[in-house]
Structure 1
Amino acid sequence: MITVSEIYTRKPERIETSLQEKTYQALEKLKVRFERVSTDEVITMEDCQQVNARLKMNMVKTLFLCNRQQTKFYLFVTRGDKPFRSKEFSQSLGIARVSFASKEAMAKMLETKIGAATVFSALIDVENNIEIVFDQEVVDDEWYGCSDGTTTGYLKIATKDIIEKLLPYSKHELKIIE
């Protein structure tokens, strides 16, 4: 059982990573309202259940994928309770089958580690090497729950603010698949 803090509406007093710093800078600059909790280290979707209960939303599952040659990268955001099927994902985009990118690629390209993949990594992908793909069910949800770039900080944000403010600000186009 993990410990989940009370709900905050301001950034943490102590910033742990440069990605986390960029996350809160962007939220402030874009005037995006959020609720946040701090936790013990959370890695799995099962660990997220207590975060979901506290913030009254469902955490998304963010997967970092690549092609076999490791020349094309995808950040796929889907519902936390939805199984990932590589074949269906690849068919939806009309691409060769993908697999999970390495933890080294994740550290280098997303500036995060396993368990903390987040759409906010688009802020550091200034060369647009990563394609952002959302499941339609995520787009349809009112709330977007995700990591702030760490495995100990989680946010609740209006999904429309991610789509209409954050992604254009990061100069990333969103692809939506069923």
Structure 2
Amino acid sequence: MELTLETGRPSDTTGRLEKEIRVYDFLDSLNIPYQRVDHEALMTIEACKDVDKILDAVICKNLFLCNRQETNFYLLLLPGDKKFKTKEISSQLGVARLSFGNETYMEKYLDITPGSVSVLGLMNDKEHHVQLLIDEDLLKEPYIGCHPCINTSSLKIDMKDMMEKIIPAMEHEPIFVKLGQEE
């Protein structure tokens, strides 16, 4: 399949899910410019490598996490090539033990499924069940690559727009963390 970099939302939305269209509506309402690549379903960071090259943006690893009691939920954004250690993030947050969150909560709070996890899912979390965590190294990147809540498209968004317009509009104040300190 030929991967093509497009600007903005698809002109034909036939066959696209409502949650994907809501992302385009949201970005357009904020006047956020973005580029898009449509592709086959990508379930892992490794599968995103070709799309990464076309977007020329760091593909962001998005991890949906929770505490042992499943009462606190987190969305951790970190560079795709960075290793994640639960102990490291748990100690920075002062949380006993974090693990990967159940997909039931992921769908309930963010309206996304495994393989499609994205910071843009926070636009669906109106009741603020999920705390946004961002690895500081991600902020060094000029652009961020993320899914529009579905893993058959990837978006390239200016990091400045993400931090100054999109995240504030979703009303999720991030906590910044430093991962990879224990290497």
Q: Partners of 1:4 and 1:127 in 2: how far apart?
A: 40
In structure 1, the residue corresponding to 2:5 is in which secondary structure? coil
Q: How many residues align?
A: 176
Alignment pair present for 1:39 and 2:27: no
Alignment pair present for 1:105 and 2:84: no
Q: Partners of 1:172 and 1:16 in 2: how far apart?
A: 26
1:10 is displaced (CA, Å) by 2.0
Gaps of at least 5 residues in structure 2 are: 179-183
Cα deviation digits, residues 94-123 of structure 1 (max 9, x gap)? 222100011222222221111110111111
Q: Could you say if the C-alpha distance between residues 126 and 63 of structure 1 is closer, same or farther in structure 2, counting changes exceeding 3 Å?
A: same
Trace 1:119-138 onto structure 2 (pairs within 5 A): 119-138=119-138
Q: Partners of 2:88 and 2:124 in 1: how far apart?
A: 28
Letter of the 2:31 counterpart = K
Letter of the 1:122 counterpart = L
Normalised TM-score (structure 2): 0.92
**Following superposition, which runs of at least 4 residues in structure 1 exceed 4 angstroms of deviation?**
none
Aligned twin of 1:9: 7
Task: State the Cα RMSD in Å.
Answer: 1.2
1:23 is displaced (CA, Å) by 1.1
Trace 1:135-154 onto structure 2 (pairs within 5 A): 135-154=135-154
Letter of the 2:9 counterpart = K
Aligned twin of 2:48: 48
Q: Partners of 1:129 and 1:17 in 2: how far apart?
A: 23
Gaps of at least 5 residues in structure 1 are: none
1:17 is displaced (CA, Å) by 2.7
Q: Percent identity?
A: 33
Letter of the 1:73 counterpart = F
Q: Partners of 1:74 and 1:16 in 2: how far apart?
A: 27
Aligned twin of 2:118: 118
Cα deviation digits, residues 137-171 of structure 1 (max 9, x gap)? 11121110011111101000011111110111111
Letter of the 1:79 counterpart = P
Aligned twin of 1:88: 88
Normalised TM-score (structure 1): 0.94
Aligned twin of 2:181: none
Alignment pair present for 1:57 and 2:57: yes
In structure 2, the residue corresponding to 1:137 is in which secondary structure? helix
Letter of the 1:104 counterpart = T
Cα deviation digits, residues 77-108 of structure 1 (max 9, x gap)? 00101111000011111222100011222222
Alignment pair present for 1:168 and 2:171: no
